Chain A
Amino acid sequence: MPNESAGTLTYQQKTSSRIPAGTLYRGHSGMWSWVLHRITGVAIFFFLLVHVLDTSLVRLSPEAYNDVIGTYQTPIMGLGEVALVGAIVFHAFNGIRIILMDFWNANYSKLMFWIVVALWVITMLGFAPRHLMNVFSH
């Protein structure tokens, strides 16, 4: 049966790669962009819950708001803000990638993933040094 042996050969290819064989999705950029989109989305959602509550303190008193917002201006929180902005920027750019895959052309999904990564690096290079200077020069 020549057909069957040809089929098994491609499927059970010997490989030293740790990426599982026989799939276009598992272990590749498509999977990782999906995982990152989920994790960043959940993280941003929980931050948003806290952020609406802390901003609502402006309704209470200037002192209450300043006390709580002061805890955002410490070095540790400054690093947390870099992580938060990193999560938002990835979620935003990967979201555009998803929209382009849905409405334009899904064949470029892998290329677009690397464009997302590149744009993320550029944006963070613009944001992180400036933000950390504000945080640490306090």
Chain B
Amino acid sequence: MSTTIEAPRSPYSRPPRTRGGVSWEKWGWIYMRASGVVLIVLIFGHLFVNLMIGDGVDALDFAFVGGKLSNPFWQVWDVLMLWLALIHGGNGMRTIVNDYTTRPMTARILKAAILAAVVVLIVLGTLVVFTFDPCPAGSPADLLPSFCPAS
């Protein structure tokens, strides 16, 4: 019968904050700052081009958006914005759920809902940007971008 007595004055050690050897919370913290800086450029540019130039919000219609999204530059811009913003927002919402929920089941359900919304919208938005047709056949010519053969 022997009892193990812990060495006195053993140095304080924090419980491990890693899962599978990865510090997820640290990378989340870094992601919020890195994506935040990029998003400022992307979103300020997005708002300037869509709301400040020309007639601003009045000029927004299918022809305007179709024209923009036929350009690879704006395709990459918008898809980057979509991914970075939804993950940034989803992670922010996760933080808020962690702060205000008291029951583990409530937290799990809310976080699952956030994850589902983020994944569905990222997939939907990416598919829309890369598969939509700026000149759909049979549409009235006056609704289409000026480069469409029908207009």
Chain A residues in the interface with B (C-beta under 8 A): 38, 41-42, 44-45, 48-49, 52-53, 55-56, 58-59, 61-63, 65-66, 69, 72-73, 78, 81, 85, 88, 92, 95-96, 98-99, 102, 127, 130-131, 134-135, 138
Decide: A56 near B139, CB < 8 A? Known: A102-B33, A134-B58.
Answer: no
- Asked whether B89 lies within 8 Å of A72 as measured between CB atoms, the reply is no
Q: Interface range on chain B: under 10, 10 to 19, 20 to 34, or 35 or more?
A: 35 or more
Q: What's the nearest-Cβ distance from chain A to residue B98, in Å?
A: 13
A135 to B139, CA, bound (A): 27
Q: Which residues of B contact A66 (CB under 8 A)?
A: 61-62, 143
Binds A, one of B11-19, B103-111, B124-132: B124-132
- Asked whether B139 lies within 8 Å of A61 as measured between CB atoms, the reply is yes
Q: Which residues of A contact B55 (CB under 8 A)?
A: 134
Q: Does B92 contact A (CB under 8 A)?
A: yes
Q: Does B56 contact A (CB under 8 A)?
A: yes
- Asked whether B40 lies within 8 Å of A96 as measured between CB atoms, the reply is yes
- Asked whether A127 lies within 8 Å of B51 as measured between CB atoms, the reply is yes
A92 to B85, CA, bound (A): 12
- Asked whether A95 lies within 8 Å of B58 as measured between CB atoms, the reply is no
Q: Does B36 contact A (CB under 8 A)?
A: yes
User: B58-80 vs A: 1/0 string, CB under 8 Å?
Assistant: 10111101100100000000000
Q: Which residues of B contact A135 (CB under 8 A)?
A: 56-58
Q: What's the nearest-Cβ distance from chain A to residue B124, in Å?
A: 6
Residue of B at shortest CB range from A123?
A: B44
Q: Which residues of A contact B60 (CB under 8 A)?
A: 69, 72-73
- Asked whether A73 lies within 8 Å of B47 as measured between CB atoms, the reply is no
- Asked whether B89 lies within 8 Å of A95 as measured between CB atoms, the reply is no
Q: Which residues of B contact A53 (CB under 8 A)?
A: 121, 124
- Asked whether A62 lies within 8 Å of B140 as measured between CB atoms, the reply is yes
User: B112-125 vs A: 1/0 string, CB under 8 Å?
Assistant: 00000100010011
Per the 8 Å Cβ criterion, residues 9-54 of B in contact with A are 33, 36-37, 39-40, 43-44, 47, 51-52
Given A52-B82, A131-B57, 12 more A-B residue pairs with CB atoms under 8 Å apart are A42-B92, A42-B93, A45-B90, A52-B124, A53-B124, A62-B66, A63-B139, A92-B43, A131-B51, A131-B52, A131-B56, A134-B58
